[in-house]
A and B are shown apart, each in its own frame.
Chain A
């Protein structure tokens, strides 16, 4: 638990101290590239599924967290 608090505190500090630019819509051609998406690809679906069976950890990746299958 202590590690999580440290991690979350560091992350919060990072969020508030980092300077983020305001990016206009017309400047987002690179950010909007399909390869830049901040999510897993649909084509990864099956490999994430088998990892949830063969590994103990899951979640925090936009996918399964434990329900829906006889997996972890």
Chain B
């Protein structure tokens, strides 16, 4: 943690120094402008899903979820004395969900199905508009009952003279997974505790005699956590092809370590014995994506995306999507979209009651299964030139989508985005 913080500070000082080379040359040309609130974005979303393969109940059982998500983001822009543009994005998100399967963390179905997540974030970017270079740092925090996360990131970007932009970003997520076990599987002896859970011994006695499940004797702070770290290097290259077309190449190199399963996911074996899912403590992921956008004629835009994904757990996936915004007027567009996704199973997945008791790693979480999915819907965007009735509300988007998975999971989502200026 300390090393990461020092690295981020070091990177910031390095790029601040690099940018400062132009200070004297342009000092007289610019008037500093203090940070000013330029834009407010509000995104609100309602999501529901249904299925019959919950990981909490070992790959069978209800997957009903309702989620209500809200995000508020403020964008502040200002110019320093040297002419450098400073942009600060400060946001906060609040989600509330109800998950039917969450009740069955307790064997009797007595656990609460509700949960909340709060996630503030802040990003600061310094841009030299003359040279087309930028540098930024950001921080992110997320908290929910069973999971917390703290993240730092830093990025640099460069533009060339032929319409290309290159960005490198490094980020580190330092997460804590709270070790909430299914009530009947709370470890009671050190022999039954996995190496990364050794500190759970401290609270075993009280948890096994009532525990957090009944909500009576154990408070949130009593339940120990296990770390999960995610380090990502992201490389993005955007290129203008001509007046109507541009593309982007996106590559992420992801390394995870720590507790990569979830402690309340059950796995039933062939002999009907039950354990908590067990997965390797490291994972390397390589997703690479390509976007291509083309303005066809005066009204139609073709937005396409393809992603190839592979990891060292044996999962390979392809994602392809197309969106066709049609501009009915310059300020009003309707965009039908379709997304296709397919993946192979990880080496560690097997459905309910099919794992062998001798398996070293095991999960019945259907996110690791082989399946195909389809997602389709419509996006409507309205952005009058002077806002709605000359008000602060400058743009509005409504997006509805229906998702189906070959595992019989299906879901619906409706989202609204309001931009105020």
Residues of A in contact with B, size category: 35 or more
Given that A36-B293, A43-B416, A46-B43 are contacting pairs, would A55 and B373 also be in contact in the complex, using a CB cutoff of 8 Å?
yes
Chain B residue nearest in CB terms to A70: B147
Specify the main secondary structure of chain B where it touches its partner: strand
A residues less than 8 Å from B249 (CB atoms): 11, 15
Q: Which residues of A from 40 to 66 have beta carbons under 8 Å from B?
A: 41-47, 49-51, 53-62, 65-66
Q: Which residues of B from 396 to 421 have beta carbons under 8 Å from A?
A: 397-399, 401, 403, 405, 409, 411, 413, 415-417
Q: Is the CB of A47 within 8 A of B415?
A: yes
Indicate if A13 sits at the interface (CB-CB under 8 A): no
Q: Which residues of A from 1 to 59 have beta carbons under 8 Å from B?
A: 1, 3-4, 7-8, 11, 15, 18, 20-23, 27-28, 30-31, 33-39, 41-47, 49-51, 53-59
Indicate if B203 sits at the interface (CB-CB under 8 A): no
Chain A residue nearest in CB terms to B175: A67
A residues less than 8 Å from B73 (CB atoms): 42
Most buried by B among A8, A20, A65: A65
Chain B proximity of A34: nearest CB distance (Å): 7
A residues less than 8 Å from B287 (CB atoms): 57-61, 65
Given that A35-B303, A56-B367 are contacting pairs, would A7 and B413 also be in contact in the complex, using a CB cutoff of 8 Å?
no
Indicate if B256 sits at the interface (CB-CB under 8 A): yes
Q: Is the CB of A59 within 8 A of B417?
A: no
Indicate if B118 sits at the interface (CB-CB under 8 A): no
Chain B proximity of A56: nearest CB distance (Å): 5
Chain A proximity of B405: nearest CB distance (Å): 7
Q: Is the CB of B47 within 8 A of A60?
A: no
Chain A proximity of B185: nearest CB distance (Å): 18
Chain A residue nearest in CB terms to B164: A20
Q: Which residues of A contact B (CB under 8 A)?
A: 1, 3-4, 7-8, 11, 15, 18, 20-23, 27-28, 30-31, 33-39, 41-47, 49-51, 53-62, 65-72
Sorted from nearest, which 6 A-B pairs have the closest CB atoms?
Answer: A67-B173, A67-B230, A60-B289, A57-B317, A60-B287, A46-B45
